[in-house]
Amino acid sequence: MSLEELKRAAAYRALGFISSGMVVGLGSGSTARYATLRIGEKLREGSLRDIVAVPTSEETARLARQEGIPLTTLEEHPRIAVTIDGADEVDPHLDVIKGGGGCLLHEKIVAYATEHEVIVVDESKMSECLGLKSPVPVEVIRFGWRSTEAALAGTGACTALRCTGGTPYVTDEGNYIIDCLYNGITSPSELAVTLNAIPGVVENGLFLGVVKTVIVASARGVEVLER
């Protein structure tokens, strides 16, 4: 199976957690995109009904509208039954790093409002320890970002301002992202507290204790891991 076929297989398996009448969260990124497309298909064919969705990014919102998925907000529906999202790295405890697509702030807000957070990945995202395969994205306000980056480097990270086409990447909330590479994180919970205590940091990409299910697709098949 190709990488895209693996991503699709994981996303389609996640649809088993969604039923008619639910409020669902729509994740961002290439794997979660397949889940959004499949929800749209099921709504059109009538096998799913009365779904409303909270998107985690403007890009996801555009895709959902294109697919005819009714959208709502956390103000209208503060509790979400199931969110299907992707991840950049997953450890054996089902803690994950997210934010490679630049939507970590909205994704984390939605995750904490979700009863059942489902992560869909291909096997390349599985890791023995967080930080071995992916940097930790940190969303920061633009004002004084160089000072914030210096403080982030002080936590032991190799830091880089995320850019696209030679200009700083700007999130949906108008912030910058600094990617922090640690070469393995021994205590993710302590690091998360340290990162969020730095002035200028809005949120970090460590999603700890919020994921209930991880669906992993590989050439051997699709495996469901539960917390």
Q: Is-catalytic flag, 107?
A: yes
Catalytic residue among 107, 117, 139, 203: 107
Task: Name residue 110's amino acid.
Answer: V
Q: What is the Cα–Cα distance from 27 to 31, expressed in whole angstroms?
A: 9
Q: What is the Cα–Cα distance from 18 to 48, expressed in whole angstroms?
A: 9
- Rounded to 5 degrees, what angle do the CA atoms 22, 208, 105 make? 65
Burial 165-193 (b: 16+ CB within 10 A, else e): eeeeeebeeebbbbbbebeebeebeebbe
Task: Name residue 39's amino acid.
Answer: I
The residues that are catalytic are 107
